[in-house]
Amino acid sequence: MNGAKTAISRANIALVKYWGKAPGNENLTAVPSLSLTLAGLSTRTRVRFDPGLDADRVLIGGVPAEGRPRARVVALLDALRARAGRTERAEVVSVNDFPTASGLASSASGFAALALAASAALGLELAPAELSSYARAASASAARSVFGGYVALLAGAHAAEPVAPPDHLDVAMVIALTTLGPKAIGSTEGMRHTEATSPYYPAWVATAPALFAEARRALLARDLETLGASMEQSTLMMHAAMLASRPALVYLRDATLRVMERVRALRSQGIAAFFTMDAGPHVKVLVERAAVAKVAAELGQVPGVERVLVSEPGLGAELVDDAALEG
Ligand code: 2P0
């Protein structure tokens, strides 16, 4: 197809969490985060600029995007058009290889793939850090999916930076999808609510950097026990700040707590496995590779767990041959 470019990007799971914006309107983060890009949970996005279009056409999973999801895509396209000095509207076709109704976030993989496909379709050859900065302006976690393996996004940083390659640790991520409750409050709104109303938010922002530094040191030293301990404290500190909001922001559910308990029980049997939860009820568990099958089977037995996915560490965003995407 003329001028069309297709990019693939994968989800990332924060081991040390981002929750909260730095002052200003640039979508910079208030705390540093450290993530692992996964091999699964990918988004494939094709972008084509067409002088014949009078508006951007955005199809996500075969459905025309509207409202805020569409506006966020158009804003990223606008930023890249301004950079390229171009004005044509685009056709964007994006598909996830994981169920969109699964409650797993798709904005990280989605905006990283969009930034790469759209910039390539405009003929821009952006360095990874620049791509990461455009993706971050759309959704901060997307800055991290531009890179593979272990990735840091520092507080107030415009771009994420790679920390270690995908094979740095012998681990995989086991994801326990729990029963979905009512539609959760989105991350952007949830963090603004936490900032505005939680008395624990200032404590979260004050203590997050030391936890990040500890986790980063442990990662580089391949000290999985310390990395896991800082990882669990990060997610629990983030949820503590959310829980102390008014009205309370409660993303954790009964099944979430049962999975956490099972992970602790497995650990007491000598298995290196550490949990983290995002703005939802699912549990992502970083597991030493030798124990992945056992942990996946055990978590599948926990009442309220609907499905278990296993994902290896993966690569950053990349251009791929234009595949047959259903428009
Ligand atoms: C993270 N989350 O570090 C944290 C942990 C969710 C909980 O980044 O407002 O979709 O688009 O910048 O990136 C989800 O927030 O938020 C997120 P915006 P984003 O992965």
Residue 183 has pLDDT above 90, yes or no: no
Contact 104, 175 (CB under 8 A): yes
pLDDT-derived band at 51 (thresholds 50, 70, 90) equals very high
Within 13 A of 286's CA, how many CA atoms are on the CB side? 29
**E strands, the chain, in order:** 5-16, 33-50, 57-60, 63-64, 89-96, 150-153, 161-164, 171-178, 273-276, 283-288, 305-311, 318-320
Distance in angstroms (rounded) separating the CA atoms of residues 305 and 164: 31
The string of pLDDT tens digits covering residues 274-288 is: 999 999 999 999 999
Q: Closest Cα to atom 20, ligand 1: which residue?
A: 14
State the pTM of this model. 0.96
Give the pLDDT score at 164.
98
Pocket probe mutation, ligand 1, options 12, 15, 18, max atoms within 8 Å of Cβ: 18
Q: Closest Cα to atom 8, ligand 1: which residue?
A: 141
Q: Which atom of ligand 1 is nearest to the CA of 33?
A: 3
Give the SS3 label for residue 97.
Answer: coil
Fold assignment, 5-165: Ribosomal Protein S5; domain 2 (3.30.230)
Mean pLDDT of 45-63: 97
Distance in angstroms (rounded) separating the CA atoms of residues 29 and 48: 31
Give the pLDDT score at 104.
78
Chain centroid offset of residue 169 CA: 20
Nearest to 249 by CA among 185, 183, 181: 185
What is the phi/psi pair of residue 149, to 5°? 65, -140
Q: CB under 8 Å to 157, separation ≥6 — which residues?
A: 28, 29, 32
Q: CB under 8 Å to 278, separation ≥6 — which residues?
A: 13, 14, 17, 105, 187, 235, 251, 284
Centre of ligand 1 to C-alpha 141, Å, is 5
Domain boundaries, the chain: 5-165, 167-311
For the structural domain made of 167-311, what CATH number should be given?
3.30.70.890
Q: In the structure, which protein residues have their CB atom closer than 6 angstroms to any atom of ligand 1? A: 14, 17-19, 27, 33, 107, 139-141, 187-188, 278-279
Instruction: For strands 89-96 and 57-60, give the pairing.
Output: parallel
Residue 196 has pLDDT above 70, yes or no: yes
Neighbours of 298 (CB within 10 A): 22
For residue 46, list its beta bridge partners: 6, 93
Q: What is the widest separation between alpha-carbon atoms in the chain?
A: 63
Q: Which atom of ligand 1 is nearest to the CA of 235?
A: 5
Pocket probe mutation, ligand 1, options 10, 72, 107, max atoms within 8 Å of Cβ: 107
Mean pLDDT of 81-104: 88
Residue 1 has pLDDT above 80, yes or no: no
Nearest to 29 by CA among 21, 40, 39: 21
Contact 36, 15 (CB under 8 A): yes
More confident residue, 327 or 203: 203
**For helices 128-138 and 67-84, what crossing angle results, to 10°?**
150
Q: Closest Cα to atom 9, ligand 1: which residue?
A: 188
Distance in angstroms (rounded) separating the CA atoms of residues 248 and 276: 20
Residue 327 has pLDDT above 70, yes or no: no
The string of pLDDT tens digits covering residues 302-324 is: 999 999 999 999 999 999 997 55
Q: Which atom of ligand 1 is nearest to the CA of 188?
A: 9
Q: Which atom of ligand 1 is nearest to the CA of 27?
A: 12
Residue 290 has pLDDT above 90, yes or no: yes
pLDDT-derived band at 100 (thresholds 50, 70, 90) equals low
Q: Which atom of ligand 1 is nearest to the CA of 29?
A: 12
Centre of ligand 1 to C-alpha 2, Å, is 34
Distance in angstroms (rounded) separating the CA atoms of residues 50 and 211: 47
Nearest to 278 by CA among 101, 141, 139: 141
What is the phi/psi pair of residue 131, to 5°? -60, -45
Centre of ligand 1 to C-alpha 40, Å, is 18
